[in-house]
Amino acid sequence: MTTAPALLLKPGKERSLTRRHPWVYAAAIARIEGEPANGELVSVRSSDRRFLAWAAYSPESSIRARCWSYREADRIDAAWLRQRVTAAVHSRQELRETGTALRLVFGEADGLPGLVVDQYEDFLVVQIQAAGVDAHREALMDALCEATRCSNVFERSDPALRAREGLPDSGGLLRGKAPPPLVEIVEHGVRYGVDIRRGHKTGFYLDQRDNRQRAAHIVQQLRARGRPVRVLNCFCYTGGFSLAAACAGAASVLSIDSSADALAIAAANATRNGLDTAGTDGAPAPQLTWQCGDVFEQLRVLHEAHGSSGAFELIILDPPKFATNQHQIERAARAYKDINLSALRLLAPGGMLMSFSCSGAVEVDLFQKIVAGAVIDARVDCFLRARLGAGADHPTLVTHPEGEYLKGLLLERST
C-alpha cells in the first residue's frame, strides 16, 4: 500500500478531507507522484505529506479522486470491498418489510463512490459510474451476489456520467438470467410493474417510497373529514403516487405525463391492483384518468376549466431534473415556480400539495423560497407541514451534502 501513487494537495486544500468530504477536485492537487491509471488506488496527502485518504484516481474527471477510506491501515482489496458491500446490504435489512424493491448501495453514503445498486425481486440493477468502482467491478459483483444471494445482475449505467470519468459505455446483462419486460414488485401492499431494462433511472423511483406511503396516509386523513378525495399527480411516470393514492381510497386520480409508454405501464399497474373494478365490499372503483401531455400546458388548461374553485384535495408535483448544473438554476427556478403556482390555484382549501425537486443544483433553501413565491402569487395561505426527502435506503452523509439531491415540501392550504 505504501508504494501506491500519491496526490499531493496544495496548502490549505486538505481541509475538506479532514472534514471527511469524499471528493478531491483537480484544482486542489499540487502534483502527482507516480503515473496512476484510471481507477487506480492513490494515497491523498497534504502539502506536508501527511496521509489523508485512500482514493480512486480519475484523470479525466473534475473530481480527480473519490475517497475509499481515511484510515491509512486499511487495505483496499477484494476483502475490503466485500465488507463494505455486506455492511450496506445488511444495514437495510429491516426495510425489506416495506416491499420487494430496495436500494442496497448508494455510492458515497455507503463508502462505495460511484456505485448504485437497486434490487427488484430477484434482480439486481447496478450503475457503475466512477472509475474506482469500474476497476473493481468483478469483485463488487461477487460481493453483491454473495451478500444478497441473488445471481441476476443487470447494468444500467448512465453513459454521460461514465464519459465524464473517461469510461466507455457499459450496460446490459452482467450475470444470471435476463430480466423479463416487466418485473413485478410490491411496495406497501401496492403492486407495480417495473421495466428495469429501459425505465427511468434503474426502472422505478425507489427514492420516493416513503413519500408514496405518506401520500396514501394523506388520502386516508382527508377521507376522514367526510368528503371524496380528488388527486392530481403531475409527471406521474408509471403511476407510483397515483396507485398509492387510489389504493388508499381516493375517489379520483388524474395522472399526467408526457410519455405514452409510461402511462401504458401505469394503466396496467392499475389492473394489477384491481383498481379498474369495484371492491368485494361494494366500494366503487376509483376514477383513474391517464392523460398524455405537457404538464405545464395541462395545468393551465385545468386552471381555465376550474378557475380557483379548488378542483383537487391532493396534488403531487414530482418533475424531472430541471437543473443539471449551476448555470441552469435561474431557468429551473422559473419552471418550479410555474408549476407550483398553477397547482396552488387548483388546490382546494384544506388540501395538500406535495412538491418535489430532484435537481441537486437547487438547494433546499432556494427551493422553499421558490415555492413561497408561488404561494404569494397565488394569493393563498399555506402551512408548511413537513420537509420531505428520499427514503431511508437513500442515506445522506452529513459530510457530503451533495448526496441529498431529492427535496420536497408538504404544504396545506388554509381553510
Catalytic residue ranges: 358
| 344: three-class secondary structure by DSSP | helix
Residue 296 has, within 13 A of its CA and on its CB side, a CA count of 6
Q: What angle do CA 32, 35, 41 make, to 5 degrees?
A: 85
- Nearest in space to 185 (alpha carbons), one of 176, 177, 175, 195: 195
Q: Given 3-state DSSP classes, what are the helix, strand and coil percentages for the chain, each rounded to the nearest 5?
A: 35, 30, 35
Strand ranges for 50-138 from DSSP E: 51-57, 63-69, 101-106, 115-120, 123-128
Q: For residues 356 and 358, give the distance between their C-alpha atoms in angstroms, rounded to a whole number.
A: 7
| 191: three-class secondary structure by DSSP | strand
Which cell numbers hold the place of 355? 412538491
| 317: three-class secondary structure by DSSP | strand
Is residue 90 within 8 A of residue 149, CB to CB? The reply is no
Q: What is the 3-state secondary structure (H, E, C) of 262-295?
A: HHHHHHHHHHHCCCCCCCCCCCCCCEEEEEECCH
Q: What element of type H or E holds 184?
A: strand 183-187
